[in-house]
A and B are shown apart, each in its own frame.
Chain A
Amino acid sequence: MIRRLAWYWLIPVAALAWEVVTRSAGAVYFPPPSTILARMREMAATEDVAADLVPSLARLAVGWALAAAAGVALGVLLGRSPLLAKLVEPMVHFGRSVPPAALLPVFLVFFKVGTPIQLAAIVYGVLWPVLVNSMDGARHVDTQYLDTAQVFHLPRWRVVLAAAAPKIFAGLRLSVALALIMMVISELYASSEGIGHRMREAEGSVDIPAMWAGIVLLGVLGVVLNGLFLAVERRALRWHRGRTAA
């Protein structure tokens, strides 16, 4: 553990360098980390941070879970049904090729500003990578696993899910980062609360350190979410890591 931590020595060094460079340059738009940290502490003391953070994270979690479940279910269905896939695949490739952020104006027409539109944006961003990867995984399940399932009368869909799990997890991992991006974008443009909204407010009142506080917070959030996901994945796919390492 200590040894692993020792590899992170570059982080304080980088922070220090950032501090030195920004201070000596005196650039208004790039405040030194000490200023950002001080502003963060001040905000934490004087404002209700949870009121912004909790709704953001709740939407992130709900949107991600909905889209992940739908993506896996649809993807596996399409992967196992050649007929359906032939019919729907062109549309899938179109849908996933549209950058989700470009659809915000469209969502603004269809959904109410606030939670509905943010959920829609997160769901749309998450759905495609999960769906496409699940479809790919389900399509390439080894036929001998399916024969084995049939001979021993095992539930076929469980064998498909287990065999496709490495691919499904690859899609889910991508989607965690996308969910965070979609959360912020939708809050920047179509919300009256949340981290993104606060960053926009800070920008409006030229409170540069507060804006950077949001950026740092999002970075930390991204790292934490990814770490959580990796921990789950590592447990679920232990067999796969061992097999591919061998």
Chain B
Amino acid sequence: MLEISNLSHVYGSGPGAHHAIEGLNLSVAEGELLCIVGPSGAGKSTLLRSIAGLIQPTGGEVRIEGKLVKQTPDNLAVVFQDYSRSLFPWMSVADNVALPLRRKKMDKQQRRAAAQEALESVGLAEAGKKYPFQLSGGMQQRVAIARALAYRPALMLMDEPFGSVDAQTREDLEDLVLQVRGHHKMTIVLITHDIDESVYVGDRVVVLSKAPAHVVGDLKVELASPRDQITTREHSDFVHLRAEVGRLVRGLERTPA
């Protein structure tokens, strides 16, 4: 599905240049839910922006379904970190969700229906006519997810999507992602700096080093599904994995199994 080989990115040039990513290799299988964790400033957003075609990496390549990414591919959606800026404030919630569907072969009726369906699937059936500013932060982030869902991408990228909401909302949104991928066939790459979250949500967790970022750990998460905020998190496998990821993030050696 997604192949990243020998990716590097340098911001600026000369003595002030910042090497954000260096020699990063990663491949993601169709239908996988991959979590990427790494310390703050590691280059996680830079990686996501390279995958989305929002920046041209200075070295290496990104391929989606075999095709080299030059601009944003058609079948890709992004949920950005900052909910307060991820929706267009000048249009209603329903219009925000329906807008990207214009270039699909859908008439107005179908677009409206698809938007409503996506809003229902994130638990916001009643919010369509409101403006983003009339919703709480968590609700706005749900709308951003609904917009991505309605778009029916093959690959969904999420950049710390729950970084700026309260703990309770965060748990709800994590479960929403799990529920969404149960219903839709898509590959999801979720970036987070929260170690617990990566293990709870992911099928697989990839750990990035400090800048310049490269992969320092790659773990399969084999926890029973459906996952549950209480029982999954108290399971010994969860606790063990969390510790392992935590050590990798802090740059310690993996404990011998």
Contact = CB atoms under 8 A, between A and B. Distances in A.
Q: Do A and B bind each other?
A: yes
B200 interface: no
Interface size class of A (residues with CB under 8 A): 10 to 19
A147 interface: yes
Contacts of B91: 162, 239
Most chain B beta carbons < 10 A, residue from A147, A152, A159, A239: A152
A151 B72 CA distance: 6
A148 B53 CA distance: 12
B90 A153 contact: no
A110 interface: no
Interface stretch (B24-32, B78-86, B174-182): B78-86
Nearest to B52: A151
B151 A152 contact: yes
Nearest to B100: A152
A147 B54 contact: yes
A239 B90 contact: yes
A151 B76 contact: yes
Contact of A162 (B53, B74, B90, B100): B90
Nearest to A165: B90
Interface in A132-185: 142, 144-145, 147-148, 150-154, 159, 162-163, 165
A147 B134 CA distance: 23
Given A152-B100, A246-B133, A144 B88 contact: no
B240 interface: no
B131 interface: yes
A152 B103 CA distance: 9
B133 A162 contact: no
Contacts of B100: 152-154
Contacts of A148: 78, 80, 86, 88
B80 A243 contact: no
A145 B54 CA distance: 12
B54 A150 contact: yes
26 contacts: A142-B85, A144-B85, A145-B85, A147-B54, A148-B80, A148-B88, A150-B71, A150-B72, A151-B77, A151-B78, A152-B77, A152-B100, A153-B74, A153-B100, A154-B99, A159-B88, A162-B90, A163-B88, A165-B90, A239-B89, A239-B91, A240-B89, A242-B133, A242-B134, A243-B133, A246-B134
